[in-house]
Amino acid sequence: MLTVDAQPAGLAEDGMAIVVVGPSGAGKDSVMDYAARHFAENARIVFARRVITRPADAGSEAHIGVDAATFSRMKQEGAFCVSWEAHGLCYGIRREMLDAVGQGAVVIVNGSRQALPDFVSTFPRLKIVTITAHAEVRAERLAKRGREGAGAIAARLDRQPRPPAAGLDTVTIDNSGPLDVAGTAFVSLLTSALN
């Protein structure tokens, strides 16, 4: 299910960033992976690999793993166009992604709601996609990941995320059902961004 919360800004020509956010267990990585397979041969669609202070083989996301000292050095050297901290880790989006948008690419970023103000001030053309899922679906997915106990999962589910600020170009995709439903909605959104 796709819900448009604001009128889309003119999509295309100059490139744009699409920042994907949503609560833990909503299936952001799965929806993005679905779209990445669909657009594998399209050079204008770029999925940003985040730099994260965790080992490269940890978690389901393909990322660039660095230690805290390396991350700090990269940040000081201006390697990131946006960076933030969450859940005891540091996350960075490489500056090349901003350059790619300037060259006409549609860059998809696995972002964070808390970093949205930095994304807004960094990327001149930005769309925010919130991936959601019903609480019981998220609970089941979080349990299957096996990273946290029942108490930590309950705490995650109790968090009430703040919606993006009013006036931003936002879309919500419900990923409570089969992946191909949400995945197809996201592919459709990216196809629109290319036109």
Q: Is 158 annotated as a binding residue?
A: no
Instruction: Name the residue among 100, 97, 125 with its Cα closest to residue 12.
Output: 125
Q: Would the annotation count 28 as a binding residue?
A: yes
Residue 27 assigned ligand-binding role? yes
Q: Is 15 annotated as a binding residue?
A: no
Q: How far apart are CA 169 and CA 140, in angstroms?
A: 30
Q: Is 89 exposed, middle or buried (0-12, 13-18, 19+ CB in 10 A)?
A: middle
CB atoms under 10 Å from CB of 10, counted, come to 9
- Annotated binding-site residue? 22: yes
The answer to the question of whether 79 is labelled as a binding residue is no
**Is 78 labeled as ligand-binding?**
no
Cβ neighbours of 87 (radius 10 Å): 9
Q: What DSSP string describes 45-71? A: EEEPPPEESS-TTSSSS--EE--HHHH
Residues comprising the binding site? 22-29
Residues comprising the binding site for ATP? 22-29
